[in-house]
Amino acid sequence: MYKSIIIGTGPAGLTAAIYLARANMQPLVIEGLQPGGQLTTTTEVENFPGFTDGIMGPELMDNMRKQAERFGAEFRSGWVEHIDLSKRPFKIKVEGAGELEAESVIISTGASARYLGIPGEQDNVGRGVSTCATCDGFFFRNKKLIVVGGGDSAMEEASFLTRFATEVTVVNRRDELRASKIMQDRARDNAKIKWALNRKPLEVVAGDTGVKGLKVLNNETGQEELVEADGVFVAIGHTPNTGFLKGQITTDDHGYIMVTPGTTETNIPGVFACGDVQDTRYRQAITAAGSGCMAAMDAEKFLEGHMVHDWSEALDK
Ligand SMILES: Cc1cc2nc3c(=O)[nH]c(=O)nc-3n(C[C@H](O)[C@H](O)[C@H](O)COP(=O)(O)OP(=O)(O)OC[C@H]3O[C@@H](n4cnc5c(N)ncnc54)[C@H](O)[C@@H]3O)c2cc1C
């Protein structure tokens, strides 16, 4: 039995762990399949405040974890298979670690960027392939870029990237774009944006010096083509990691957890959500960390008046 269990060890979960541990709440943190979260898949992080020369993603996450451990947060590897939120204490089934109970739960399981699943893509993540223009656009000044996707976020990323790139080519599998008219119009009015529609991505082509372009199938001619570029931004959406909740909590149509605006409170008292799993808009390390702090403070406040277990002995220790 724990006062609080935090699910996920990205910037949101680890910040929540630092705050709860420093509040003497002895949180248990469940790491999931990706200890340290998404930033462990990248190289340099230049926009997390406090690091004048940037910091490598894995190092930043390692530091956060050590900081949480220093104040007494406990870590357990494994991933949450199932959770019962019907009554408190909540029951959490962790693969390989049995069933745990908690007075409160903080869900910080992130949202995974969708990839194309084509050869050359995963090998070059962080080396020319990206899913985040805000994070990585700055690295591509005066370069040629590709954005793959046809929705609003692809249009937004393409427009944003023209601030750095000499040219941005939007590659979309279909002839028509899914994006709203206003977003399409904005992109079409941008002279730096070129279009390669009706092209199916086949392979990210890269050499020793980095990405060279995207091999595509031209659906009209049936011919393979190489769209040359120094970087490929995949903008085909994110999937929030909420499958294990199995409809027990209110989410939006895409599976993102809904919270009361300005808080991290979900529709279930004692259950809080922070980071990308409840954020359809910003999805940055610093916003995830900020909402992790909020979740810890919300959980702490909730626990002040709602403990079901007698913790007096534990508190005396
Ligand atoms: C390649 C790349 C580069 C990026 N670069 C930057 C950057 O430069 N600057 C920036 O601000 N942002 C960057 N981002 C975005 C940033 O990484 C995310 O916004 C941030 O990591 C979100 O934090 P989070 O804590 O919400 O979730 P995540 O970091 O996604 O962490 C989720 C955690 O939940 C765990 N988990 C998931 N499901 C379960 C389960 N069922 N049971 C237990 N645990 C589970 C995972 O193991 C993981 O530990 C980048 C993202 C990527 C992919």
pLDDT in tens, 106-154: 999 999 999 999 999 999 998 999 999 999 999 999 999 999 999 998 9
Position with higher pLDDT, 115 vs 314: 115
What does the mean pLDDT of the chain come to?
94
Residue with the smallest CA separation from ligand 1 atom 14 is 284
- Write down the pLDDT at residue 313: 66
Please check whether the domain covering 122-234 is classified as CATH 3.90.1570.10. Answer: no
- Strand order across the 199-207 sheet: 199-207, 210-218, 224-228
Catalytic residue at 136? yes
Q: pTM for the whole thing?
A: 0.89
- Quote the pLDDT of residue 42: 83
Q: Is the pLDDT of residue 58 over 50?
A: yes
Using left for φ > 0, alpha for ψ between -120 and 50, and beta otherwise, residue 126 falls in left
Examine domains 5-113+238-316 and 122-234 and report if their fold is the same: yes
Nearest to 23 by CA among 216, 301, 218, 308: 301
**pLDDT tier for residue 315 given thresholds of 50, 70 and 90:** low
For 17, phi then psi, to 5°, come to -65, -40
- 84, 132, 152, 293: the active-site residue: 132
Distance, CA 197 to ligand 1 centroid (Å)?
31
Question: Which fold, 5-113+238-316?
Answer: FAD/NAD(P)-binding domain (3.50.50)
Give residue 317's pLDDT. 37
- Is 135 an active-site residue? yes
Q: Which whole number is the average pLDDT over 257-270?
A: 97
CA of 217 to the centre of ligand 1 (A): 32
For 240-274, b/e burial (b = at least 16 CB within 10 A) is bbbebbeebbebeeeebbebeeeebbbebebbbbb
Check whether 214 has a pLDDT greater than 90.
yes
Residue 67 CA to residue 277 CA, distance in Å, equals 23
